[in-house]
Amino acid sequence: MSDPLPAPPAPPGPPSAWARLGRRLATWNHRRTLLLVAFGLLALLPILFPNPYTIATVLFYIPWYLAMTQSWNISGGYTGQLSFGHWGLLGVGAYTTVILAVTYNWPIVSAMLVAALVTFLLGLLIGFVGAALRGPYFAIATLAAAALMQLVILNWQSVTLGALGFPIFYILIPASDLYYGALVLGGIATALVYGISRTRVGLAFEAVRENEDLATASGIYARGYKALAFGLSAAIMGPVGGLYAFASHYIDPNSAFNLLYNLQIILMVVVGGRGKVLGPIVAAVAFAWVFEVALTSFNVYNYLITGVVIFVAVLLIPRGIFGFRGMPKVLQF
């Protein structure tokens, strides 16, 4: 008589909390670690340099440029829409926030949320109408749209006070609050770019950028995706403009609508790498200091310097600072 078969082993129980934590740490994305470290270091800057004047005049512009750079990166980096209209969205966001907060006594955060909604809708409209245009034609169309926004603000004197501008001296926000507000916007914009890069929407954006006709033939609604990308990009510019207004304590149609900012964020995206996440962060941190020095020392030549640097960057580093051969793959995202 043969021996009986051994009993089957008991099914394993559910993994313990420590086992689940170990698995998560083993599969933790090192790219997320880099992003967390980068924003952790940025959060320490006001602590390391607590002088309010330094925070307001230098440090504030680091996360402020970062938010604008990642904003432009959504449309210009992922869908290839070369926009020269973000300076108009910045101005609209500044005026929307100030009008609601100053004229109608809205809470500043609520006013900035409405500014984000207004610029999002404007971005959707511009992106949808201009989707049929490509390359330089789209760039010219966005430039014209931004100029039109400036003219509306300038001539709508009953609401915007026209060329007189809006004084905001009696609304004083601590410099550290402005800094961390800009850092939050920069974090949201970066999270949005990182999230897009890992979704089907991001793949659709990249397909439209690489070959719009082929993407359309594959069943991708290119016009809708281009409008969505431009709308998301524009939504960031609204509250960014609001922060700029309160940091400046005064806005007028010339200061709020400044084409130079558009050129500068294009430069940061080109240097950091279009459609990348980490590169534009490094470029924004580096160039924010350079731009502030140029503003105080070479104010007359700002446009010339920015244009020359963009030209050189496009020629020498078309794939961004982390696009060279031999660069660690963990940095190339």
Q: Which structural domain, as residue segments, surrounds residue 218? A: 56-331
Taking only the tens place, the pLDDT of each residue in 120-143 is 999 999 999 998 888 889 999 999
Sign of CA dihedral 213, 219, 222, 225: negative
Classify residue 106: in a domain, yes or no.
Answer: yes
Taking only the tens place, the pLDDT of each residue in 145-162 is 999 999 999 999 988 988
Q: Which CATH number is 296's domain given?
A: 1.10.3470
Taking only the tens place, the pLDDT of each residue in 81-115 is 989 999 999 999 999 999 999 989 999 999 999 99
Three-state DSSP class for 325?
coil
Classify residue 89: in a domain, yes or no.
Answer: yes
Classify residue 20: in a domain, yes or no.
Answer: no
Contacts of 204 (CB under 8 A, 6+ apart): 215, 220, 225
Largest CA distance in the chain: 106
What is the reported pTM? 0.85
pLDDT at residue number 280: 86
pLDDT at residue number 277: 86
Q: Do the Cβ atoms of 234 and 90 come closer than 8 Å?
A: no
Bridge partners (DSSP) listed for residue 251: 166
Q: Which of 181-185, 208-212, 287-291 has the lowest mean pLDDT?
A: 287-291
In whole angstroms, what is the distance from residue 209 CA to residue 81 CA? 8
Top-confidence residue, 115 or 56: 115
Top-confidence residue, 81 or 316: 81
Q: Grade residue 41 by pLDDT with cuts at 50, 70 and 90.
A: very high
Classify residue 103: in a domain, yes or no.
Answer: yes
Interval 47-69 mean pLDDT: 90
Q: Grade residue 5 by pLDDT with cuts at 50, 70 and 90.
A: low
Q: Do the Cβ atoms of 248 and 298 come closer than 8 Å?
A: no
Q: How many domains does the chain have?
A: 1
pLDDT at residue number 272: 85
Taking only the tens place, the pLDDT of each residue in 173-208 is 899 999 999 999 999 999 999 888 888 888 899 889
Classify residue 80: in a domain, yes or no.
Answer: yes
Classify residue 165: in a domain, yes or no.
Answer: yes
Q: Grade residue 25 by pLDDT with cuts at 50, 70 and 90.
A: very low
Short-list 133, 332, 89, CA closest to 232 = 89
Taking only the tens place, the pLDDT of each residue in 62-78 is 999 999 999 999 998 88
- Tell whether the model's pLDDT for residue 21 goes beyond 60: no
In whole angstroms, what is the distance from residue 17 CA to residue 19 CA? 5
Q: Do the Cβ atoms of 226 and 127 come closer than 8 Å?
A: yes
Classify residue 27: in a domain, yes or no.
Answer: no
In whole angstroms, what is the distance from residue 237 CA to residue 119 CA? 7
